Structure 1
Amino acid sequence: MLATRARQTPNANAHWSLDIHGQWSPTNISQFYLQAVDLAWQLKTLGIEKGQTVIVLAASSSQWELAHHAILMLGGVIVGIDPEETAEHLETISTLVKIDAMIIDRVGRLEKFGDSVFNQISTVISLEDASESGKSKLHSVTIHDHLDEKLDHTVLSTAIFPNDIATIIFTSGTTGTPKGIAYRHEQIVTAIQAILDTFPEIGQAPCHLVCWLPLSNLFQRIVNLCALAGGSEIFFVTQPQKIIEYLPQINPHVFIAVPRFYEKLYQEVENKLNRQPKPIYHLLCYCLSAGENDSPVGCLFRFINRRLFKSFTSLFGCNIRYLISGSAPIPIWLLKRFYATGLLILESYGLSENVVPIAANRGNDYRFGTVGKPLSPNRVILAEDGELLVKGSGVFGGYVAEQQEDRRLTTDGYLASGDYAEIDEHGYIRLTGRKSDVFKTSTGRKIAPVEIEDLLKSHSKIEHAVVFGANRKFLTTLVTVGAKRPEDAGEMLDFARKLAKTLAETAAELPNYKRPVGAVLSFSSLSVERNELTRNLKLLRRNIQRDYGAWINQLYDALDNGDSIIHQQPLLIEPNIVLLKLPT
């Protein structure tokens, strides 16, 4: 693909990176292709051959992208590993597949893993000078900025077939145990074509895309390949924490992020709204509410809101066509609020076990509260219990190194998604709950917690909400807040009372059996480091239950005890933990 683009449009910009002066500097297709060929030659000299498995352990950058293409040119199998991955996970991965080589962006990466992993790998290659490392099998490669077009291209002569393995990804889902999934070249090409068919704007130049999600994640690599195939320009952001600073400079036409990014961004809008005088606050809230309507009046208000909230909408630059959200469900209220300001978020849905996204809303065909319609290679049906099943050329064939046939594949080749869903008469898919998350109360009510959690999170102060109640008479919830913890005990109790009232009002639209009766309020955020969130920011419910189980049990005991003081006021248990009864 890269070689074809280099022949067709050699002078077109492939990507942009920040130079040492903080200016965006372009690399054209021809130069990028020559750099990839040169790097492939260096890797081949170090022994990398077709079929060998090569780990890339590096921060996302244009160098990562070069390594990706160089390995594919050689017919190697690429495995992207997050630089923040634990040594234990890497050791587990090394037991599932034979690792022939590892590419790192700096020598310091090896300190994290020690000799146990290092000794299992035949060749380690650094993208920075490693001459003083003292490690015999650690080698360096050099990425040259300017190369002669007469560079020997015979490195590409290795026959690569459509059914050859291109990449192995490792997913731990919400279990925490890595599982390997291999995808063939033909499946990657299918995914690229399906995404370009679904989002044709990516292939309509000019189109700026942002590479800021981890390249260890296959989806970001496929997005970059879509840009290459469609003629878009990729901007590499090596410091994701500065994405808000860079977006107006990049001026993206399409932007992709996880729901939590959009939530945190909108929280700033809410915070500014709350600081306005009451008359202005109510006026702006009315404009937002009116802008949510899909009517001529709503269209007028969206036009007005685009200017009223210019400080917010301009964060994405002036070219934005739409935003895309994936990896986890996004609350419908948040979709409507962005829409009210003139920013359209299109929710998509996929699984690690299918390289092709399963479904997506389109720029001209969307419905909030759904994940859109299936992408062309996918065939979707519902099982008898309502679980979504998908079949298509992008579906995996089973986990790597597993001896038994994978239980997620039905006898007729459908992948069991693990999600309950509904499909309406127009083909839109609405997810109703993760099968493994759904539980029953002791009264026999079946609860899908995500719906309740999304509603509770509509309050700007709530970072995360996690609902509990399996085999209990009623529901409770853990809520974490982004607000600074009040130092004074009286202020703390006042804050807790107001939050309890807000949570109760928010949940009032739910049926009685879905309304949480009490809450554990925590001023400590859930974190990836404590294994409470995945790296895609999904809830690891078992671990959250482990960490907060004692306080959840204490909350249930207090609520069941008619003499407990919780029925009169919140209970301050620890400096960062308060137990609440929600008013009825």
Structure 2
Amino acid sequence: MKKEVAAMPYVSVPGMLRWGAGEFRDRLATTYKKDGRWQSLTYGQFYQRVLMAARGLRKLGVGPGDKVAILSENRVGWIIADLGILTARAISVPIYATNTPEQVAYVLEHSGARIVFVSTRLQYEKLMAVRERLPQLEMVIAFERFIGDRSLPVFHLYQLSEISHPISAEEQAELEAEIDRIGRDDLLTLIYTSGTTGAPKGVMLTHGNFLVDAWLGLDRLQGRDKQETFLSFLPLSHVLERTAGYYAALMSGSRIVFAESIDKVVENMVEVKPTAMVSVPRLFEKIYSRIYENVHLMSPPKRQLFHRAIEVGREYVYRRYVERRPAGLLRARYRFYDRLIFSKIRQKFGGNMRFFISGGAPLDKTINEFMWIIGIPTFEGYGLTETSPAITLNSLDQIRFGSVGRPLDLTEVKLAEDGELLVRGPQLMKGYYRNEQATAEAMKDGWLHTGDIARIDEEGYVYIVDRKKELIVTAGGKNIAPQPLENELKLDKYISQAFVYGDRKPYLVALITPNMERLIELGHQKNLDYFDVEELVANEKVRAVFAERIAQLNAKLPSYETIKKFVLLPRDFSVEGGELTPTLKLKRKVIYEKYRERIEALYDQNGQSANSKNQQGDRQ
């Protein structure tokens, strides 16, 4: 292993926290809102809270190899529970807070967890709804106070931790002796994949997997010694936030601030003024759309000024960061527009934002360029739950827009004959829990088969084309990646989300969800009478507008990639509706099954759909 990684002053995640409590004792480790007020814990205080939780778990008989689940949205209790579990040498099993009772039951049954940390009564009620399926479940530890059922007793985290009894020197020595017994190859967690297809698989990741991945990621971003304020809103149950926004943050002595909810992220940005965030593309898509909506409302001279600023900004970004040439007078022009326009946009992010990390799904190239232009570099990377997660990452020194960056140090990539990306490195999982067949299918000769089709340029930058299983093969034999088309559609001011379909079909079709604000505005502009959104999206004048927007995209595409027909839906895809994973990726099989009749009707050869006559692409 590379000398730098081998020189890490710790071999486990609890060992890393113990080291941090010594190095950064009085520095703020985490901030969260309680009873309407922001409160914080220093590294020293946070470490003591973790030791208290570990003490309580050990008294309950939790020990090496035991599975303990966490069913909660992001909050400080989540990371105290996680690190407490690990300090007791047990294995943490995170469960998405958005999971249904049946999904929760599957994870608990499969992992064999007998204790679960939950955030609220709502999560506890999910357990009670499937109680008969979970005979091994003994108790619940809650982050909020409520009374449970006798059949499944509930204790508060403070009760478990015996918060009024500080850790004694003897207790601390015993717990730290346990930390010293944790090896780099010891199992840290089971993360159950969100399951865009099939049943979730329990990915087995070690302490070394996470530590090396975080270490190498910080090295790529030159951030190992830089103190940041991370605003956390992505689910900690997902490996991206867990590594990049949690373990890597603690590794660098940074502060983790927990957003109150996903709906309050923008408000919390202004309040806490973060310097860094981890996100998925959906946030950037919404930011981009909202900014351009405001530009749309400007006077013509102001709109022209804005677009000129973007042109200058793009030229400056490419010259400085991509071509790495002196900016000369272009720097002064950029600074002029920065003071006039871009600095004001950055205030919407709190004013201190230095960078974003984007992962989980492809980020549209235009949107990524825009973030750099306004002065907030957004580093797109690529990875999987199975790789802890980062495999590749862009940075200030290594950036190619449209790519997911170069491989991290110690990480090898290559392409199979069919273009599938294969990966080998120290961040690879041990395998799938209790699923040797799936492990053997995914890992062959030390290489992980990612399931993604990619290309690698001569400089080593990796470009993800699409999921191997999601490539559309038309009846005419054309291979089409749906995600680039969907991303292009989502750039339109009237379109919120898109799903492109056409496997083994003569042409492509799409499900479109409208930007509701712009849709209602369109209804007012055209003086339309309607009872509800369903009636509005069915209006011929509205459909004609969307047909025209799609025709504009079709004009830029080869005929076999054009979208011939579409369905306009009255609501967004959502996690609650089952169409999205917790990290907001499309569940393609679920969407197809849910809207099968409407999709198949677009291929009815006996008659045209209502929108086909408005689609110029039908004649291509």
CA displacement, residues 253-284 of structure 1 (integer Å, 9 cap, x when unaligned): 22211100110111111211111233432332
Partner residue of 2:20? 5
- Does structure 1 residue 388 correspond to structure 2 residue 456? no
Assess, with a 3 A threshold, how the Cα gap between structure 1 residues 354 and 132 changes in structure 2: closer, same or farther.
closer
Question: What is the SS of the residue equivalent to 1:287?
Answer: helix
Partner residue of 2:593? 546
Which residue identity does 2:200 align to in structure 1?
P
Tell me which moved more, 501-510 or 123-132.
Answer: 123-132
Question: What is the SS of the residue equivalent to 2:431?
Answer: coil
Structure 2 CA distance for aligned equivalents of residues 65 and 542 of structure 1: 33
Partner residue of 1:238? 260
Structure 2 CA distance for aligned equivalents of residues 494 and 44 of structure 1: 66
Assess, with a 3 A threshold, how the Cα gap between structure 1 residues 326 and 260 changes in structure 2: closer, same or farther.
same
- Does structure 1 residue 345 correspond to structure 2 residue 378? yes
The 8 Å contact of residues 347 and 372 in structure 1, kept in 2 or not, is answered as yes
Tell me which moved more, 310-319 or 452-461.
Answer: 310-319
Deviation at 1:53, TM superposition (A): 0.5
- Does structure 1 residue 423 correspond to structure 2 residue 456? yes
The 8 Å contact of residues 34 and 147 in structure 1, kept in 2 or not, is answered as no
Deviation at 1:566, TM superposition (A): 4.9
Partner residue of 1:99? 113
Question: What is the SS of the residue equivalent to 2:475?
Answer: coil
Structure 1 CA distance for aligned equivalents of residues 33 and 265 of structure 2: 13
- Structure 2 unaligned spans of 5+: 1-15, 320-326
Which residue identity does 1:488 align to in structure 2?
D
Which structure carries more helix by proportion?
2
Aligned partner (choices 326, 335, 353) of residue 303 of structure 1: 335
Partner residue of 1:464? 497
Partner residue of 1:268? 290
Partner residue of 2:70? 56
The 8 Å contact of residues 388 and 420 in structure 1, kept in 2 or not, is answered as yes
Question: What is the SS of the residue equivalent to 1:406?
Answer: helix
The 8 Å contact of residues 202 and 254 in structure 1, kept in 2 or not, is answered as no
Structure 1 CA distance for aligned equivalents of residues 377 and 619 of structure 2: 36
Deviation at 1:298, TM superposition (A): 6.2
Deviation at 1:311, TM superposition (A): 4.2
| Identity between Structure 1 and Structure 2 (%) | 28
Tell me which moved more, 393-402 or 308-317.
Answer: 308-317
Question: Where do residues 135-534 of structure 1 align in structure 2 (5 Å cutoff)?
Answer: 135=151, 137-142=153-158, 148=166, 150-151=168-169, 152-153=171-172, 154-158=174-178, 159-201=181-223, 203-205=225-227, 207-223=228-244, 224-293=246-315, 294-295=318-319, 296=327, 299=331, 302-306=334-338, 307-404=340-437, 406-483=439-516, 484=519, 486=523, 487-488=528-529, 492-534=539-581
CA displacement, residues 156-189 of structure 1 (integer Å, 9 cap, x when unaligned): 3222222221111100331152110111222222
Tell me which moved more, 133-142 or 39-48.
Answer: 133-142
Structure 1 CA distance for aligned equivalents of residues 614 and 419 of structure 2: 42
Which residue identity does 1:474 align to in structure 2?
Y
Deviation at 1:128, TM superposition (A): 3.8
The 8 Å contact of residues 455 and 507 in structure 1, kept in 2 or not, is answered as no
Which residue identity does 2:114 align to in structure 1?
D
Q: Which has the higher contact order (CA 8 A, sep 6+)?
A: 2
- Does structure 1 residue 26 correspond to structure 2 residue 40? yes
Assess, with a 3 A threshold, how the Cα gap between structure 1 residues 460 and 132 changes in structure 2: closer, same or farther.
closer
The 8 Å contact of residues 209 and 429 in structure 2, kept in 1 or not, is answered as no
Deviation at 1:567, TM superposition (A): 5.5
Structure 2 CA distance for aligned equivalents of residues 128 and 97 of structure 1: 25
The 8 Å contact of residues 217 and 393 in structure 2, kept in 1 or not, is answered as no
Partner residue of 1:109? 123
Tell me which moved more, 222-231 or 107-116.
Answer: 107-116
Which residue identity does 1:493 align to in structure 2?
E
Tell me which moved more, 463-472 or 351-360.
Answer: 463-472
Which residue identity does 1:540 align to in structure 2?
K
Tell me which moved more, 401-410 or 231-240.
Answer: 401-410
Deviation at 1:286, TM superposition (A): 3.2
Tell me which moved more, 266-275 or 5-14.
Answer: 5-14
CA displacement, residues 267-310 of structure 1 (integer Å, 9 cap, x when unaligned): 11121111123343233223323422224476555434433244
Deviation at 1:452, TM superposition (A): 1.6
Deviation at 1:378, TM superposition (A): 1.4
The 8 Å contact of residues 314 and 369 in structure 2, kept in 1 or not, is answered as yes
The 8 Å contact of residues 90 and 117 in structure 1, kept in 2 or not, is answered as no
Assess, with a 3 A threshold, how the Cα gap between structure 1 residues 566 and 248 changes in structure 2: closer, same or farther.
closer
Question: What is the SS of the residue equivalent to 2:223?
Answer: helix
Structure 2 CA distance for aligned equivalents of residues 215 and 6 of structure 1: 22
Assess, with a 3 A threshold, how the Cα gap between structure 1 residues 289 and 512 changes in structure 2: closer, same or farther.
farther
Question: What is the SS of the residue equivalent to 1:119?
Answer: coil
Tell me which moved more, 356-365 or 470-479.
Answer: 470-479
Structure 1 CA distance for aligned equivalents of residues 617 and 200 of structure 2: 39
- Structure 1 unaligned spans of 5+: 571-579
- Does structure 1 residue 123 correspond to structure 2 residue 139? yes
Structure 1 CA distance for aligned equivalents of residues 438 and 193 of structure 2: 18
Tell me which moved more, 24-33 or 377-386.
Answer: 24-33
Tell me which moved more, 118-127 or 262-271.
Answer: 118-127
The 8 Å contact of residues 91 and 117 in structure 1, kept in 2 or not, is answered as yes
Assess, with a 3 A threshold, how the Cα gap between structure 1 residues 129 and 550 changes in structure 2: closer, same or farther.
closer
Question: What is the SS of the residue equivalent to 1:385?
Answer: coil
Tell me which moved more, 360-369 or 132-141.
Answer: 132-141
- Does structure 1 residue 43 correspond to structure 2 residue 57? yes
Structure 1 CA distance for aligned equivalents of residues 341 and 310 of structure 2: 10
Structure 1 CA distance for aligned equivalents of residues 47 and 93 of structure 2: 21
The 8 Å contact of residues 305 and 341 in structure 1, kept in 2 or not, is answered as no
The 8 Å contact of residues 440 and 470 in structure 1, kept in 2 or not, is answered as yes
Tell me which moved more, 146-155 or 276-285.
Answer: 146-155
Which residue identity does 1:3 align to in structure 2?
R
The 8 Å contact of residues 103 and 126 in structure 1, kept in 2 or not, is answered as yes
Tell me which moved more, 293-302 or 239-248.
Answer: 293-302
Assess, with a 3 A threshold, how the Cα gap between structure 1 residues 479 and 29 changes in structure 2: closer, same or farther.
same
Partner residue of 2:8? none
The 8 Å contact of residues 73 and 119 in structure 2, kept in 1 or not, is answered as yes
Deviation at 1:111, TM superposition (A): 1.4
Deviation at 1:343, TM superposition (A): 2.5
Question: What is the SS of the residue equivalent to 1:501?
Answer: helix
Which residue identity does 1:37 align to in structure 2?
L
Deviation at 1:326, TM superposition (A): 0.5
The 8 Å contact of residues 547 and 611 in structure 2, kept in 1 or not, is answered as no
Which residue identity does 2:78 align to in structure 1?
W
Which residue identity does 1:55 align to in structure 2?
A
Tell me which moved more, 549-558 or 317-326.
Answer: 549-558
Which residue identity does 1:13 align to in structure 2?
L
Structure 1 CA distance for aligned equivalents of residues 598 and 331 of structure 2: 47
Question: What is the SS of the residue equivalent to 2:247?
Answer: helix
